[in-house]
């Protein structure tokens, strides 16, 4: 009897083995084999049933089972039943174990966990870009974390750094001439962090920023009186919200980010 079903057995989703099976079958133009996944295998009874079904239907089996005892059991039952069974993961893991001189952790589904983490990180990065610098106040209520501070307190690089930790961060600039968005006063204070800075340090940073842009360092933006006015207004907003603050004067972005993570956790 010609085999007509390709059974894909996995203790996770089974996507890896299915893709490999499809790639192999694509080389046989006259093949009409169908592929049937048997995912999330948790017991030997399912393995036995799959072997029996493959035998009755004249099918073959490919498997990506992380647990060695499951692999041995399925292969043994398939050999007894004269059913072709191909281990698509075990040999690679065995070679890697010898090459890396490290024991595998034997936990199913880690590939998909890594994929999930990757997409969460990308989503958080896109969120940080969309709601950077108070562009859209709607993001304040959607965010995992809201950063507020005067200009040049590293709000944007902090938002991006924390996004790589899968946090959705919105940041809002605090400027005396502009009323903060109403959403800022509706957010849970525990989700809001104010970025404080010493006036002298901010003065130096702004002077350097103006120089890098080829502008006069005596502009109002870098004047000590203006900076103090902004910081006083920032403190007023922080008191109104009731949120915590972190002094970023002498901290690198990574240090501030770690301080924030420790605070919100």
pLDDT of residue 44: 94
Domain boundaries of the chain, sorted by first residue: 5-108, 111-264
Residue 252, SS3?
coil
Positions of E strands within the chain? 5-10, 34-38, 60-64, 85-87, 145-149, 169-173, 192-196, 244-247
pLDDT of residue 112: 61
pLDDT of residue 109: 65
Spatial contact of 74 and 47, defined as CB atoms under 8 Å apart: yes
Positions of E strands within 111-189? 145-149, 169-173
pLDDT of residue 150: 97
Spatial contact of 57 and 10, defined as CB atoms under 8 Å apart: no
Spatial contact of 38 and 8, defined as CB atoms under 8 Å apart: yes
pLDDT tens for the chain, residues 1 to 265: 445 899 999 988 888 889 889 999 999 988 888 999 999 999 999 999 999 999 999 999 999 999 899 999 999 999 999 999 999 988 888 888 888 898 887 777 666 666 677 788 889 999 999 999 999 999 999 999 999 999 999 999 999 999 999 999 999 999 999 999 999 999 999 999 999 999 999 999 999 999 888 888 778 999 999 999 999 999 999 999 999 999 999 999 999 999 999 888 7
pLDDT of residue 104: 83
Binding site for ADP: what residues are annotated? 149-156
Cα–Cα distance, 230 to 174 (Å, whole number): 8
pLDDT of residue 37: 92
pLDDT of residue 111: 63
Asked if 5-108 and 111-264 have one fold, the answer is yes
Domain 111-264 has CATH 3.30.70: no
What's the CATH fold of domain 5-108? Rossmann fold (3.40.50)
pLDDT of residue 172: 97
Binding site: what residues are annotated? 149-156
Enumerate residues 6+ apart whose C-beta is below 8 A from 152: 197, 202, 205, 206, 209
pLDDT of residue 4: 84
Spatial contact of 176 and 227, defined as CB atoms under 8 Å apart: no
């Amino acid at each position: 009897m010609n085999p007509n079903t390709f059974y894909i057995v996995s203790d996770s989703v089974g996507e890896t083995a299915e893709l490999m099976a499809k790639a192999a079958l694509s080389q046989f133009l006259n093949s009409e084999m169908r592929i049937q996944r048997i995912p999330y295998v948790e017991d030997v009874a399912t393995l036995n049933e799959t072997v029996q079904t493959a035998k009755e239907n004249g099918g073959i089996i490919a498997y990506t089972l992380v647990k060695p005892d499951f692999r041995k059991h399925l292969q043994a039952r398939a050999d007894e039943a004269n059913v072709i069974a191909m281990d698509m993961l075990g040999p690679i893991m065995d070679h890697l174990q010898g090459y890396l001189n490290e024991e595998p952790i034997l936990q199913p589904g880690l590939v998909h966990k890594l994929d999930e983490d990757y997409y969460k990180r990308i989503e958080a990065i896109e969120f940080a870009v969309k709601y950077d610098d108070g562009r859209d106040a709607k993001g304040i209520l959607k965010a995992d974390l809201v950063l507020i501070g005067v200009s040049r307190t590293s709000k944007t690089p902090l938002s991006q750094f924390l996004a790589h930790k899968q946090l959705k961060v919105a940041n809002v600039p605090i400027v005396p001439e502009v009323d903060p968005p109403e959403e800022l006063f509706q957010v849970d204070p525990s989700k809001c962090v104010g970025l404080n800075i010493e006036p002298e340090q901010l003065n130096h940073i702004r002077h350097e920023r103006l120089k890098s842009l080829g502008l006069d360092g005596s502009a109002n933006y870098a004047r000590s009186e203006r900076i103090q006015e902004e910081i006083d207004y920032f403190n007023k907003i922080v008191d109104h919200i009731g949120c915590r603050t972190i002094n970023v004067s002498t901290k690198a972005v990574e240090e501030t980010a770690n301080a924030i993570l420790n605070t919100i956790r």
